Amino acid sequence: MLLGRRSLLSCIAAAAWLGPCGAAPAAARGRTAIGGRVTLHVPWPLGAIDPHRIDDGGAALLGEALFDTLYARDAAGAFIPVLAEAEPEDAGGLIKVTLRSGLKTARGHALDARDVVFSIARARAAGARAWLAEVPTPRVEGKTTLFFLAKDPAKIVRALASPLVAIVPANFTTTWPDGTGPFRAERRADGLLLQRNPLAARGPAFLDEVFVRPSGDLAESLRAFETGADDVGWLGMGLHEPRPGAKPFDAGHVGWALLFTGRDVAGWDAPGVAQRMCDELPPQRLSYLALGAPWPTETPQGWGGPPCTIIVRDDCPWLVELARSVAAILSRPAHEVVAKPVGAQELAQRRASRNFPLAIDLARPLERGTLGALVALATADNPGAAEDTVKHPPRLGDVPVRTLTRSMRAGVIGEARVQGGRAPDLALATSAGGFGLDLGATTRGRK
């Protein structure tokens, strides 16, 4: 789909050049519109965008707009080279991967093989530790060649195609995220401005700009959409009533909301307990949060442990609202549960040490399919143990994701979906990789 952007932009430029001869008007009829601006609010933090973190909601939503990987899946599910020049080559006991030459990030930094090594190491130190368990550190030769001491090129390609192994420059910072995607990110006081990236590896975006602001609560986006200030309404068609002419959209899920048990609840901190509690949650009471298809529920027992809190990061209104709803459902007399928003750093530290009672957080998929879901959930639960899942993957068919956490101290509450309402002239494109929006291929009708 992104390769099509490059070709289409070239065609439109040629049509404009032919305009004085009278050929452009006829040739341009029915073509994809180029240009336009989109504004929206999202109930996710935008202060830092880190493609290598498995719990980064901003990266889940905007990662494809800013970053590329060496390989990726196309709409049919096949792996294709992206920043790599071609498929891997067998080089006598080594696997050779050649990077495309002349690559530059949106901020004009040249990318070479050393940046690939940096990105793989950074991903390994973050959310892709288990996913990269069978990917050795590559050896660099020149500016575009990498050699992996491995035997199976298919495993290398699959691992490097994950969005959590995005390629970034060695000077990468999360506050000014820089990559080779269709947009360049510019920090604004009230949000993140995505501008068309003319240096994009697979062609720039169709739109000129996308301005994304963080919501203070779930109502802010719907209020702005209903009044016409925004072009997208998150999780709905309006706050009080549907916006006239608005159309619904559903771009699928970008992760899962998970409930974790911690050491502070003693006997309740056991494998399978979290998922049992999640399966008791009535989907109709949480439907306004767009958690995906309803799930079969167990006989509700509620929380039977001591009064406790559910910690959740305080800069993510969607997760905070979810934590409050879950706490209200689980609470019983003398066994009350209360949501407690905390800073993102505190949440990360307490989750790493497991010094908390209950917690709610996000986990992003490592790739589409059951294995990508399983490794993502296992990584969120216990990164060290998740490596065994990659090295010795179980034989699983297409099973419900909620069944994958029966032996974990994490349970799937539901999906984090990208859906709601859109302005009638806005054509939102869905990611070919299978998760969320492809803002680079999104278009807006020209008047």
pLDDT in the model for residue 30: 52
Is the pLDDT at 6 greater than 60, yes or no?
no
Q: Average the pLDDT over 348-364 and give the result.
A: 97
pLDDT in the model for residue 163: 97
In this prediction, residue 11 has a pLDDT band, given cuts at 50, 70 and 90, of very low
Are 253 and 240 in contact by the 8 Å Cβ rule? The answer is no
Residues 61 and 186 in one domain: yes
Residues 397 and 362 in one domain: yes
Task: Compute φ and ψ for 403, nearest 5 degrees.
Answer: -80, -10
Cα distance between residue 265 and residue 179, in whole Å:
42
Is the pLDDT at 124 greater than 80, yes or no?
yes
Cα distance between residue 174 and residue 272, in whole Å:
35
Q: Average the pLDDT over 422-437 and give the result.
A: 93
Q: Average the pLDDT over 404-409 and give the result.
A: 96
Between 189 and 131, where is the model more confident? Answer: 131
Residues 402 and 270 in one domain: yes
DSSP string for residues in 46-98: -S---TT-TT-HHHHHHHHHH-B-SEEE-TTS-EEESSBSSS-EE-SSSEEEE
Residues 143 and 258 in one domain: no
State pLDDT tens for residues 293-334.
Answer: 999 998 888 899 999 999 999 999 999 999 999 999 999 999
pLDDT in the model for residue 301: 86
Answer with the one of 177, 202, 236 that is the final residue of a domain.
177
- CATH assignment at residue 224: 3.40.190.10
Cα-based angle 403, 406, 409 (whole degrees, multiple of 5): 130
Answer with the one of 158, 177, 196 that is the final residue of a domain.
177
pLDDT in the model for residue 19: 39
Residues 62 and 201 in one domain: yes
Q: Is position 234 within any domain?
A: yes
pLDDT in the model for residue 198: 98
Q: Is position 185 within any domain?
A: yes
Q: Whose CA is closest to 363, among 69, 57, 64?
A: 57
pLDDT in the model for residue 115: 98
Q: Is position 378 within any domain?
A: yes
Residues contacting 21, CB < 8 A, separation 6+: none
Q: Average the pLDDT over 256-272 and give the result.
A: 96
- CATH assignment at residue 96: 3.90.76.10
pTM listed for this prediction: 0.91
State pLDDT tens for residues 229-262.
Answer: 999 999 999 999 999 999 999 999 999 999 999 9
Residues 292 and 436 in one domain: no
pLDDT in the model for residue 32: 73
Cα 328 to chain centroid distance, Å, stands at: 28
Answer with the one of 159, 177, 195 that is the final residue of a domain.
177
Between 152 and 1, where is the model more confident? Answer: 152
Is the pLDDT at 139 greater than 50, yes or no?
yes
Is the pLDDT at 54 greater than 70, yes or no?
yes
- Mean pLDDT value across the chain: 92
Is the pLDDT at 18 greater than 50, yes or no?
no
In this prediction, residue 371 has a pLDDT band, given cuts at 50, 70 and 90, of very high
Q: Which two tokens stand for residue 42?
A: 């999202």
Is the pLDDT at 209 greater than 70, yes or no?
yes
Residues 283 and 400 in one domain: yes
Residues 294 and 191 in one domain: no
Residues 42 and 153 in one domain: no
Q: Is position 12 within any domain?
A: no
Is the pLDDT at 266 greater than 90, yes or no?
no
Residues 403 and 339 in one domain: yes
In this prediction, residue 92 has a pLDDT band, given cuts at 50, 70 and 90, of confident
Q: Is position 9 within any domain?
A: no
Q: Is position 140 within any domain?
A: yes
Q: Which two tokens stand for residue 295?
A: 């799930």
Q: Is position 17 within any domain?
A: no
Per-residue b or e along 98-122, where b marks 16 or more CB atoms closer than 10 Å to that residue's CB: bbbeebbbbbebebbbebbbbbbeb
Q: Is position 341 within any domain?
A: yes
Give the burial class of 249: count Cβ atoms within 10 A of its Cβ; 0-12 exposed, 13-18 middle, 19 or more buried: middle
pLDDT in the model for residue 31: 64
Residues 164 and 258 in one domain: no
Cα 334 to chain centroid distance, Å, stands at: 39
Residues 170 and 266 in one domain: no
- CATH assignment at residue 358: 3.10.105.10
Return the minimum-mean-pLDDT range out of 151-155, 176-180, 204-208: 151-155
How many folded domains does the chain comprise?
3
Parent domain of 194: 33-67+181-246+423-447
pLDDT in the model for residue 398: 85
Is the pLDDT at 360 greater than 80, yes or no?
yes
Cα-based angle 441, 154, 406 (whole degrees, multiple of 5): 85
Strand ranges (E), 83-173? 89-90, 95-98, 139-141, 145-148
